Structure 1
Amino acid sequence: QYMSPVAYKLFLLFIWLALVYVLTVFTDLTATTFVQNGGVATSSIFFIVLAVVFGLSINKFKIPLLRASLVFVPLVFVAVWAGQKVPISADIVPAIIAGDPKKTWCIILVIYCFVASTTPVWILLQPRDYLSSYLLYASVLGGFLGILLGGFEITYPAFTGWSVPNTGTLFPILFISVACGACSGFHSIVASGTTSKQLNKETDARAIGYGAMLLEGLVAVVALSTVAMVARGDALVGEPPLVIYGTGMGNFLAALGIPKELGFSFGLMALSAFVLTTLDTATRLGRYIFEEFFSFKKASARYISTFATLALPAVFVLITIKDPAGEPIPAWKAIWPVFGASNQLLAGLVLLVIAVWFRKIGKKVGFVIIPMIFMNVMTLWGLITLLIRSKLSPVGIIAAVLLLLALVLIIEAYRTVRKTIFA
């Protein structure tokens, strides 16, 4: 309604690409975690099974939510404990892809995403999100109390320099790295794509949206604290982000009397539950966008659209990606700068769309325009930096495509606003 047909299609394409990068990063990170900690893999499988049974219990067998919760919520925490007792060792995972258990897990996760995103939401997505919320609440509360009571010190330097080798300068890299807990384009897709469809009434949107934002900020503070207490040069610095987070949570929960190993597993499981939620939600949203882009109407289109959405992430996590120096690096680490840039640029473009909408309906737009300009300038700057550094590598090509799409969308938005002003 407020975009030209060309801008509308380009915006859908940009969102779809952003979701592809989300899927790539989190698939690779989750597979890495499952290989390094088989207990988390086992707990995750237990958790998925519990979610399906829970969904069937309340939707098919009509068991009251409270009664079902009293049974299944404790079982979720039992699953965390049980996972450590029967871990899925990397040795027993069939290395069917290039002799690498991690790539096998990547394939399993892609298959999981396909199944989870093509089934009705009440079977897995809703019950799993409901149960995982208790894990999240417990981890945030435990982490927050551990931070307050543990007497921990911030050991990582607050400032290490204006630039980082192989990463870039503080400006703009900082603003394409920090997303969740600050400003995230992915959240805008989730809010419009799935959350809005599950509200009982429209007036609930403010409390849920604003409350979720505050809770996300608290999660970000806890996550940042797990990094801040790691000394510079510590071997832990080189570990994947999920391991750093799990270690920090283990330390925080140990301050509350919980064994550090169990706290580590609990922290990893809580984060893995969140990541699994992100994976199949992103796949489902990608399916929606793909169907809308091509105006698919048939029910069978869900399978085609889901396959198309998962194809690129599957390729990215299975191929060997190298850094500018020619050294192999994990897919998540290679894609992360582009993922961050696309996510934050999406946030800027969403603010741009909101500004156009406000202008169309005659509302003030100043409070939207200022952060929109900042977000777009920083992310465009970041993409240009990535393009210069990565050149014709896969990351460089992706950065170029995103940059082109963003510039076209900004020009289209300017034309729309100009027509509105002079109409």
Structure 2
Amino acid sequence: CVVLGMSFPLFFPADKWHLFIFFYIFIASVVPVWILLQPRDYLNSFLLVFMIFAAVIGIIVYNPAMNLNAFNGFVVSGKSMFPFLFVTIACGAVSGFHALVSSGTASKQIKNEKDMLPVSYGAMIVECLLAVVALVAVGFMASNGNVPAGTPAVIFANAVATFTEVLGMPFELATTLITLSVSAFALTSLDSVARVGRLAFQEFWLEEDIDGKDLSPFKRFLVDKYVATVATLVVAYLLAKVGYKEIWALFGSANQLLSALSLIACAVFLKSTNRNGKYLWIPMIIMLIITLSALVLSIYANIQTFINGTSVNLVGDVLQFVFGIALFILGVNVAYQGIKKLSSKNNKVTA
């Protein structure tokens, strides 16, 4: 397939790719995990292992030079290192999205509960290794301290292909395989987040201690998996058409806020089961401080653009402002409820 693709490349406009991808992730969101997600993820794992193994060996043999400064100051382009650095680095360190995926899809693929620790922790260690490889790739491709031009996937693929060329792999073939690996895992994230979004939408309309069959007709309609999937994907499709970049700046804060809330949920669960979860409190508090302060600074920056009349994209700034306020309020509310339960002397709390 790779050889055929290189010999006879297919080119489609972006709107056609949008339709194809959204049709695929709709199917992937509603069918059982073992039918599509599990076998495709299994096949993708071989691509990931090959890509990382080849990249690491290539880096060791090639010994690339880093063309970026190790330190440019605590404030760069008007943004301070704290807290924005810590909401920019996600998957390579801590990620709330991974917490959602582990509960929505990964948990359904575990054969034995004893496998959860090596699978989850091992996955994050591999993510960390991949983050280091990506950092080396960007540093190598940079010129005179400037980040290279091009999309992240192209920069990464060109750098790794250069590293593996010393191992005897043709540059064009390596570039194709690395790009395929990156694209495959982007697609993995798409179908996983679509399923997680569908589950979150359904849970929003469910009521505690009430069976789904006893819900009102309207709520039963909303929690239908097909309706919930369409509702989730319609928003994503509109963002893909209008421009997701309008709110993408908040992704880091939202993702890391989820990680803090996940730590709170785990701590509450451990307390409710009479186990010691205090070791989670320190990272929980640190992540709350980082994410909430990042949201406050982002909201303040939006307010300043409104006051000074310097907004380049008014619609985008308004969306960022509204979503930033919503994330802050929801985050503070959940954090307050969780910390309140953790500080309670009664261990019989609802996890």
Counterpart check, 1:418 vs 2:330: no
Q: How many Å separate the matches in 2 of 1:121 and 1:81?
A: 30
Deviation at 1:422, TM superposition (A): 9.5
SS at match of 2:105: helix
Answer yes or no: is the 8 Å Cα contact 1:344–1:375 preserved in 2.
yes
Q: Which residue of 328, 333, 348 maps to 2:260?
A: 348
Q: Which residue of 89, 98, 104 maps to 1:193?
A: 104
Q: How many Å separate the matches in 2 of 1:251 and 1:293?
A: 48
Residue type of the alignment partner of 1:190:
V
In the other structure, the counterpart of 1:122 is 34
Deviation at 1:365, TM superposition (A): 3.2
Deviations 1:270-318 (A, max 9, x none): 0111110110011011111211221366698111111111122211121
Q: Which residue of 197, 200, 218 maps to 2:129?
A: 218
Q: Which residue of 77, 80, 85 maps to 1:165?
A: 77
Deviation at 1:188, TM superposition (A): 1.0
In the other structure, the counterpart of 1:227 is 138
Counterpart check, 1:303 vs 2:226: yes
Q: How many Å separate the matches in 2 of 1:268 and 1:390?
A: 36
Q: How many Å separate the matches in 2 of 1:263 and 1:235?
A: 25
Residue type of the alignment partner of 1:134:
F
Residue type of the alignment partner of 1:381:
S
Counterpart check, 1:403 vs 2:328: yes
Answer yes or no: is the 8 Å Cα contact 1:185–1:343 preserved in 2.
yes
Answer yes or no: is the 8 Å Cα contact 2:29–2:229 preserved in 1.
yes
In the other structure, the counterpart of 2:302 is 390
Deviation at 1:245, TM superposition (A): 1.3
Residues 382 and 197 (structure 1), Cα distance of their counterparts in 2 relative to 1, 3 Å cut: same
TM, length-normalised to structure 2: 0.85
TM, length-normalised to structure 1: 0.71
Q: How does 1:279-318 map to 2 (within 5 A)?
A: 279-295=190-206, 301-318=224-241
Q: How many Å separate the matches in 1 of 2:224 and 2:296?
A: 36
In the other structure, the counterpart of 1:57 is none
Q: How many Å separate the matches in 1 of 2:81 and 2:15?
A: 33
Answer yes or no: is the 8 Å Cα contact 1:183–1:347 preserved in 2.
yes
Deviations 1:239-258 (A, max 9, x none): 22111111122112112111
In the other structure, the counterpart of 2:59 is 147
Deviation at 1:232, TM superposition (A): 4.1
SS at match of 1:203: helix
Q: Percent identity?
A: 35
Residue type of the alignment partner of 2:126:
L
Q: Number of aligned pairs? A: 323
Deviation at 1:235, TM superposition (A): 8.1
Residue type of the alignment partner of 2:29:
S
Q: How many Å separate the matches in 2 of 1:118 and 1:365?
A: 35
Q: Which residue of 177, 184, 196 maps to 1:273?
A: 184
Deviation at 1:237, TM superposition (A): 2.3
Q: How many Å separate the matches in 2 of 1:181 and 1:291?
A: 30
In the other structure, the counterpart of 2:120 is 209
Answer yes or no: is the 8 Å Cα contact 1:389–1:396 preserved in 2.
no
Q: How many Å separate the matches in 1 of 2:284 and 2:123?
A: 21
Answer yes or no: is the 8 Å Cα contact 1:291–1:302 preserved in 2.
yes
Q: How many Å separate the matches in 1 of 2:238 and 2:296?
A: 25
Residues 404 and 103 (structure 1), Cα distance of their counterparts in 2 relative to 1, 3 Å cut: farther
In the other structure, the counterpart of 2:308 is none
Counterpart check, 1:84 vs 2:19: no
Which structure carries more relative contact order (alpha carbon 8 Å, separation 6+)? 1
Give RMSD over aligned pairs: 2.2
Residues 162 and 104 (structure 1), Cα distance of their counterparts in 2 relative to 1, 3 Å cut: farther
Deviation at 1:419, TM superposition (A): 2.9
Answer yes or no: is the 8 Å Cα contact 1:176–1:337 preserved in 2.
no
Residue ranges of structure 1 left out of the alignment (5+ in a row): 1-78, 94-100, 321-330
Residue type of the alignment partner of 1:214:
I
In the other structure, the counterpart of 2:209 is none
Residue type of the alignment partner of 1:275:
A
Q: How many Å separate the matches in 2 of 1:280 and 1:208?
A: 20
